[in-house]
Amino acid sequence: MAETSHSLLMRAGAGDESAWQRFVALYQPMIRGWLVRFSIHRQEVDDLTQDVLAVMVRELRNFTPSGRCGAFRSWLRTITVNRAREFWRAGKGRARAAGGSMLEMIEQLEDPVSALSAEWDAEHDAHVLRQLLILMEQEFEEKTVRAFRRLVLDERRAAEVAAELGMSVAAIYAAKSRVLQRLRQEAKGLLD
């Protein structure tokens, strides 16, 4: 298991190439998914996603968590909003976005108390946890990951999962603990 004393965020910000690659694998699909909602052409979505990631790589060293919950996801939302606004101002993305114009969606995302921002926050956290688990799967035995998924994500009872996987209940809880500890380590700063 790749034990680290720093979170993925800190390692990526410090220039660790493998951490940056994990960071891109983690965030590129989410950013792209949100930009697709603006109903712009696929190539432009890809370009804008790369633009957001370029700003992140440039500015990540300067990111300082404010100590409040969700500081990073708010920072990421701000970068995405600013790059989308610049894209719109350049005369692109004038097509009708699902749920309103691109500018209306940008303004809603910019407002930290809007329903769209709340949706961003919820999707961000769920996406990060799912993707981190996928990225970390090779660090654990298959049964350990399956036990965690069944117990935590599928909300199954420990006895049921133990019987299903041919493990003891204690082993199920140990698997949950190991995966959760590693997830917390990797997600530090991304979710808190």
DSSP state of 68: S
Q: How confident is the model at residue 1 (pLDDT cuts 50, 70, 90)?
A: very low
pLDDT for residue 100 is more than 60:
no
Query: What pLDDT score was predicted for residue 148?
Result: 95
Answer with the residue of higher pLDDT: 14 or 28.
28
Q: What is the mean pLDDT of the chain?
A: 85
**β-strands 96-97, 100-101: how paired?**
antiparallel
Q: Where are the domains of the chain?
A: 8-136, 140-192
Answer with the residue of higher pLDDT: 168 or 100.
168
Answer with the residue of higher pLDDT: 67 or 112.
112
pLDDT for residue 69 is more than 80:
no
Tokens of 15: 């220039």
Query: What pLDDT score was predicted for residue 22?
Result: 85
* pTM of the model as a whole: 0.76
Question: Which segment of 23-37, 58-72, 114-128 scores lowest on mean pLDDT?
Answer: 58-72
DSSP state of 61: G
Tell me which CATH code domain 140-192 carries. 1.10.10
Task: Write out pLDDT tens, residues 130-146.
Answer: 888 888 888 999 999 99
Task: Write out pLDDT tens, residues 46-56.
Answer: 999 999 999 99
121, 73 in Cβ contact below 8 A?
Answer: yes
pLDDT for residue 75 is more than 70:
yes
Query: What pLDDT score was predicted for residue 37?
Result: 84
Q: What percent of the chain has pLDDT over 70?
A: 91
Query: What pLDDT score was predicted for residue 68?
Result: 73
Average pLDDT over residues 74-94: 84
- Measured distance CA(143)–CA(155) in Å, rounded: 16
Q: Vertex 122, ends 59 and 119: CA angle to 5°? A: 95
Query: What pLDDT score was predicted for residue 187?
Result: 81
